[in-house]
Amino acid sequence: MIDKLPTIKKLMRHLHQVPFLASKNLYRVTSYFLQMDRERLNQFCTALKEAHEKIVQCSFCYVWKEKDTQCIFCDDIGRDRSLVCVVESWHELLVIERTQSFHGLYHVLGGVISPLDGINAKDLKIDELVHRVTTREITEVIFALNLTPEGEATAAFIARKLYGLPVKITCLAKGVPIGSNLEFVDRLTVSKALADRKVF
């Protein structure tokens, strides 16, 4: 049936490329967009374009920030600059922030090493992390990567890269269930795992 509706088919093809949008919801999301009134549609498109134009990554920690403004972490003088928490993405950073128990800086890798998905070390901000540790007064790097095989392999790869540098390497305590995504762990567990972090 969809083949006879090429415009809808085209929209669905684009929506299908949106990560985390489950295929089973594709028809519902398509209907949602089709039913949007003109004003709402314009506001949505403008917000999307504006975000693309005005949001950039901080050149130190790779967290999103508004263009031409300071990084809400790196430029916050109240944060401990000797601690760097390494996270896979923004989602995990938000989880750590929600615990309100970490007051250091972050480093967003942009993913984890996963050759099957075509993601290699050079695709991530790993060299940038090593450079940061080498050139800044960082005394501890905390791995807060997801406890998946890819997350653990990525942590091991980075630890080898940091070997020999005068920096303590720690990881979250194993209160976080194996194979879990930090995003879906309750904030108390994450907070405890952070407090009980151990040498990697």
Question: Residue numbers of the site for Zn ion (CB under 5 A)?
Answer: 58, 60-61, 71, 73-74
Q: Which is nearer to Zn ion, 73 or 143 (CB)?
A: 73
The closest alpha carbon to 177, from 151, 139, 138, 140, belongs to 151
Between 82 and 114, CB nearer to Zn ion: 82
Smallest distance from Zn ion to CB 63, Å:
5
Q: How far is the CB of 74 from Zn ion (least distance, A)?
A: 3
Nearest 5°: phi and psi at 80?
-75, 110
Nearer Cβ to Zn ion (98/136) = 136
In the bound complex, what is the minimum distance in angstroms from residue 79's beta carbon to Zn ion?
Answer: 10
Strand partners, 106: 85
The rounded Cα 98 to chain-centroid distance in angstroms is 14
Closer by beta carbon to Zn ion, 61 or else 194: 61
From the CB of residue 107, how many other CB atoms can be counted at a distance below 10 Å? 26
Closest to 197 (Cα-Cα) out of 165, 164, 175: 175
Smallest gap, in angstroms, from Cβ of residue 71 to Zn ion?
3
Structure tokens at 194: 């952070």
